[in-house]
Amino acid sequence: MFQDILKLINRYGHVYLKGAWGTLTISVVVVLISTLLGAFLAMGKMSKFKPLKAIINVYIEVIRGTPLLLQLSLFYFLGSEYISSSVPDVGWIMVALIINSSAYVAEIFRAGIQAVDKGQFEAAKSLGISNANMMKKIIFPQAIKNILPALGNEFITMIKETSLASVFFVNNLMTSESIVSSATHLKLPSLMIVGVIYFMMTFSTSKLISAFERKVALND
């Protein structure tokens, strides 16, 4: 077994690295965009405009109430067959992941905003600060500190969830595993290598996020 693992690393290490890079690239892009979208969704959900609030509530509940693989399949086939076949497969997969992640990030932001002391809202209003400036300069900076751990967990979750993209043969770590195991028929050693790579990515990411949180806490 150990010899098989070494043989795969020596011969197909570049394939695994390519898949790992694809996984990280997708995860970073998805989390960045879904964080922005989630922030706007959270503000919409907390607004007093009932139609907008209702639409966002339905959006979040539908996304959170259906399997991610189903969402990936719908966007992949609807997008490529009925919207634009010129868009790369990874594009539709990333759209589905962004929409999925944004629903969870919206709830993270909402909880973070609601955790801010209500006195901050009242003080801003008494000073005549507009809602937009209040959110931008007072509330959001404090909310971000509250939600950093949850956003970090969302990024780690996304690293693992991108593995589902291998169903559509999009470049990621699990797709690389399928390529190697199909060529060598060494499924178990290949899976063990991929498992170690996933652990290294998630563990190192977790440590980086923890270090960043400590730095933010020290600057308070």
State pLDDT tens for residues 78-122. 888 888 777 888 899 999 999 999 999 999 988 888 877 777 777
Q: Which helix (H) or strand (E) holds 70?
A: helix 68-78
- What does pTM read for this prediction? 0.86
Residues above pLDDT 90, as percent of the chain: 49
Position 10 pLDDT exceeds 70: yes
102: domain CATH number is: 1.10.3720.10
Report residue 101 as tokens: 């992640």
Pair 111, 98: CB distance under 8 Å:
no
Per residue in 26-62, pLDDT (tens digit) is 999 999 999 999 989 998 888 888 899 999 999 999 9
Look at residue 96 in the predicted model and tell me its pLDDT.
Answer: 94
pLDDT of 135 > 80? The answer is no
pLDDT digits (tens, 9 = 90+) for 161-175: 999 988 888 888 999
Kindly list the distances between the CA atom of residue 151 and the CA atoms of 87, 101, 108, 145, in Å, as whole numbers in the listed order.
29, 10, 8, 10
In 3D, which of 163, 162, 34 has the Cα closest to residue 107? 34
Give the helix/strand (H/E) hosting 59: helix 50-64
> Which residues constitute the domain of residue 116?
1-218
Average pLDDT, the chain: 87
Mean per-residue pLDDT, 61-80: 92
The residue-averaged pLDDT of 64-82 equals 91
Structure tokens at 15: 């394939």
Give the rounded distance of the alpha carbon of 65 from its chain centre.
Answer: 17
User: Measuring CA to CA, how many Å separate 5 from each of 16, 33, 108?
Assistant: 12, 37, 40
Summarize pLDDT for 176-193 with one digit per residue, the tens. Answer: 999 999 999 999 999 999
How many structural domains are present in the chain? Answer: 1
Band the pLDDT of 219: cuts 50, 70, 90: low
Q: According to the model, what pLDDT value does residue 81 have?
A: 83
Please report where in the chains the tokens 């992949």 appear, as a residue.
Answer: 76
Instruction: Provide mean pLDDT across the span 17-29.
Output: 93
Q: 107, 44 in Cβ contact below 8 A?
A: no
